[in-house]
Amino acid sequence: MFLEAIVAGRPDADGAPVDITTGLRRYRRDAPDPLHWQLDPRFGHFARCDRGIAVAAEKRKSFQEELTSLNSKEAVADAISAALIRRLQTLLGLPDGAIGRDSSLTDLGIDSITANAVRNWFIDLVGNQFALIQILDAPSIKKFSSSFVTPSITPPSI
């Protein structure tokens, strides 16, 4: 780390903070005086979720109930796409409407760390296991979401 600090030298004159950071700890998104790295969406996975496991389980149950109430495979894929878009906007710190169903996940700047966060969130939400490479190789959010319309999450009437 010391060598990296020497190689990095002095910060640029553009005013952006440049530093080498180690040992990051979790933080609250609503902290009154956040550090500059806490505002960077790339460090969003360090944000503390104080709502607890019970809320996550309730959210999963309600989303799965929503999926089972839908009456077509397209509707299920659309619901999964919408949830994924909301999650990506949160993870990447993008405004509403910045991501479309035809957006490529890699074009959005998804790296392996963010892809793993998406994978874990998706497994918690829907319950389906899948390989990380499916996220990175997906041509679009729509195609990725459609690949999960399986008998285990497809409405019973289909």
Return the amino acid letter for 60. R
Helix (H) or strand (E) holding 54: helix 53-69
Q: What is the pLDDT of residue 15?
A: 62
Question: Does residue 158 belong to any structural domain of this protein?
Answer: no
Question: Does residue 153 belong to any structural domain of this protein?
Answer: no
| pLDDT averaged over every residue in the chain | 76
Residue 74: CB partners within 8 Å, gap ≥ 6?
Answer: none
pLDDT above 70 as % of the chain: 77
Number of domains in the chain: 2
DSSP state letter for 127: -
Q: What is the pLDDT of residue 110?
A: 85
Whether residues 35 and 99 share a domain: the answer is: no
Q: How far is CA 121 from CA 44, 45, 66, in A?
A: 13, 11, 17
Hey, what are 120's tokens?
């874990």
Domain of residue 126, CATH code: 1.10.1200.10
Whether residues 40 and 74 share a domain: the answer is: no
Largest interatomic CA distance in the chain: 64
Q: Averaged over 107-127, what is the pLDDT?
A: 83
Whether residues 97 and 130 share a domain: the answer is: yes
Return the amino acid letter for 16. A
29-62 pLDDT, tens digit per residue, is 778 888 877 877 777 777 876 554 444 555 556 7
Question: Does residue 106 belong to any structural domain of this protein?
Answer: yes
Q: Averaged over 11-36, what is the pLDDT?
A: 73
Q: How far is CA 39 from CA 12, 25, 92, 126, 147, in A?
A: 20, 14, 11, 29, 33
DSSP state letter for 12: P
Side-chain half-sphere of 142: how many Cα atoms within 13 Å? 7
13: domain range? Answer: 2-46
**Angstrom distance (rounded) from CA 123 to CA 40:** 25
Whether residues 106 and 135 share a domain: the answer is: yes
Question: Does residue 152 belong to any structural domain of this protein?
Answer: no
- Burial (CB < 10 A; 0-12, 13-18, 19+), residue 113, is exposed
pLDDT above 90 as % of the chain: 1
Q: What is the pLDDT of residue 10?
A: 66
